[in-house]
Amino acid sequence: MTKTQETGTVSTVLSPDGTSLSVERMGTGPSLVLVDGAFCGRNFGPSRALANALKDSFTVYFYDRRGRGDSGETLPYATEREIEDLQAVLNEAGGNPYVYGISSGAALALEAAAAGVPMRALATYEAPYTGVQGPDGSPGSHREHLEALLRDGKRGSAVSYFLVKMVGAPAFLPYLLRLMPGVWKKQTTAANTLPYETRVTNNFTAPVERLRTITVPTLVMVGGKAAGPMAQGQKTIAGAIPRSEHRVLDGQTHQVSAAAIATQLRSFFDGGK
């Protein structure tokens, strides 16, 4: 039987450029901020289930990244603005909290740590530094292709391209998702943010020199069922960040279970003590 997921207290936080960010808080204990990957936000994706799993150990903050859910969007986009967004959420959490990021959210959290944003410790799961090549044979051409699809109003095609050509999902997945109207609508609604992900993830290439500057305690996680490029990407991250820890979560895929991550975060963050 599935446990009912609780909701927390929602507030609006302003980023330095004036963008409004919708932030939700639940639980008690030391502050922990969750950073979502592509498409996801407070009401779609893994954060709510994870927040519910951790609320007895931490005061958990999770938010809609800019351009998604109830958050605003100020153009032009730049990775630096997203780092400022995360800093604003960390400030709302009291400053210097624990941070956990998944997928492109992991890449954003790593960029923030490399930029010197204060955090108590950082844990990541499968930042997508897979080195996947774009249509012209270079990683950078992904963004141009996505932007062209969006200019033509082909949001569904942009979602399909991102999932299959960039993330490496099976070709049949977009067809299955179309059979789930609620899920497909949320993904196509957030399609405008997909080009941003190519910037946050450094065109799917690990920014090794920047990662070497990270000084906060860092845990780098990967699922035991991860494909080779994803697994290698996490080894690259762990090898670049001084004194980082690398863990493989047996049996887990990119859609990692909340229970598996909660166990790792309690362990690495020492139960919030």
Give 215-232 pLDDT, tens digit per residue.
999 999 999 999 888 899
Ordered DSSP codes for 55-85: TTTSEEEEEPPTTSTT----SSP-HHHHHHH
- Show the tokens assigned to 9: 């207290």
Closest CA to 173 of 185, 161, 188: 161
Does some domain include residue 51?
yes
Does some domain include residue 1?
no
124 with 156, same domain: the answer is no
Distance linking the first and last C-alpha atoms of the chain? 32
Q: Domain boundary residue among 174, 197, 220? A: 197
55 with 115, same domain: the answer is yes
For residue 264, what are the contacts with CB-CB under 8 A and spacing of at least 6?
123, 219, 221, 247, 249
Does some domain include residue 253?
yes
* Residue carrying structure tokens 């090549």: 133
Domain of residue 107, CATH code? 3.40.50.1820
For strand 20-27 and strand 59-63, is the pairing parallel, antiparallel, or unpaired?
antiparallel
Measured CA to CA, the distance from residue 117 to residue 110 in angstroms comes to 10
184 with 268, same domain: the answer is no
Give the global pTM.
0.92
106 with 163, same domain: the answer is no
Give the structural domain span for 151: 141-197
Predicted confidence at residue 194, as pLDDT, reads 93
The total number of structural domains that make up the chain:
2
38 with 166, same domain: the answer is no
For strand 59-63 and strand 245-249, is the pairing parallel, antiparallel, or unpaired?
unpaired
Does some domain include residue 41?
yes
109 with 214, same domain: the answer is yes
103 with 221, same domain: the answer is yes
102 in Cβ contact with 36 (< 8 Å) = yes
100 with 161, same domain: the answer is no
Could you say which residues of the chain have pLDDT below 50? 1-2, 271-272
62 with 182, same domain: the answer is no
Q: Is 235 left (phi over 0), alpha (psi -120 to 50) or beta?
A: alpha
Predicted confidence at residue 1, as pLDDT, reads 33
